[in-house]
Amino acid sequence: MNINQIKKTKIKQLAMTTLASLIAFKAGAAVDGELSSSSTGNIDITLALGVAGVIVDLRDFNFGNWSGTGELRDNDDLCIGTTGTSQYIIRADGQGVGNDFILSNGSNELAYRVFWNDTTGTAGNFELFAGVQVDNLTNPPNSFTPIGGGGYICTGARDANVEVVIEESALQAAEAGSYSGVLTLTLIPQ
């Protein structure tokens, strides 16, 4: 064998070794089976499960006409849920400066207060402050069914409560008129 044939043989061996190495370390960790009477292959499975949350069964609060005495309060049991965790954060934002809780008649404002409970009813609820998150709340498991338009309905029990209070002193100080506003509740899985 001459020197050129030896060089070609060594190049072929190097190429075969490199090819075998590339096949052994192909992308992914799956291992193919071998040809035999039974063949076994392995597949690695990975998944990154994100967290999600939902608030449903909300209703609007209509306080009607104030009688001239006493505070106004209303509350609503609603349904919350999270996936991937049972912990959540709640935040409430109003429409005032700094997300303050205010109702407006176009030229005047009327302040209100917001309370949250991570169970139904108002017993044991706590006050929320505009734009401030309350964390480490626990959500019991709940079931939700998708409905048309991207919404959900709660198929389990209602499990949280929001309460709005307009104090008598704020009502007495307000100018006459029809007041309205929007309260935004944000549930963040934790």
Over range 63-89, report the average pLDDT.
92
* pLDDT higher than threshold 50 for residue 179: yes
Q: Which domains does the chain have, with CATH numbers?
A: 52-189 (2.60.40)
Residues 46 and 67: their CA atoms lie apart, in Å, by: 62
Do β-strands 126-128 and 113-117 pair in parallel, antiparallel, or remain unpaired?
antiparallel
Sign of CA dihedral 124, 128, 133, 139: positive
Tell me the whole-structure pTM to 2 decimals: 0.74
Burial 55-83 (b: 16+ CB within 10 A, else e): bbeeeebeeeeeeeeeebbebbbbbbbbe
Decide if pLDDT at 86 tops 90: no
- Structure tokens, 104: 């407006």
Mean pLDDT of 161-171: 97
Instruction: Give residue-wise pLDDT tens across range 130-162.
Output: 999 999 998 767 777 878 777 888 887 888 999
- With vertex at residue 72, the alpha carbon angle to CA 110 and CA 92, rounded to the nearest 5 degrees, is 60
Alpha helices in the chain (DSSP H): 3-24, 168-173
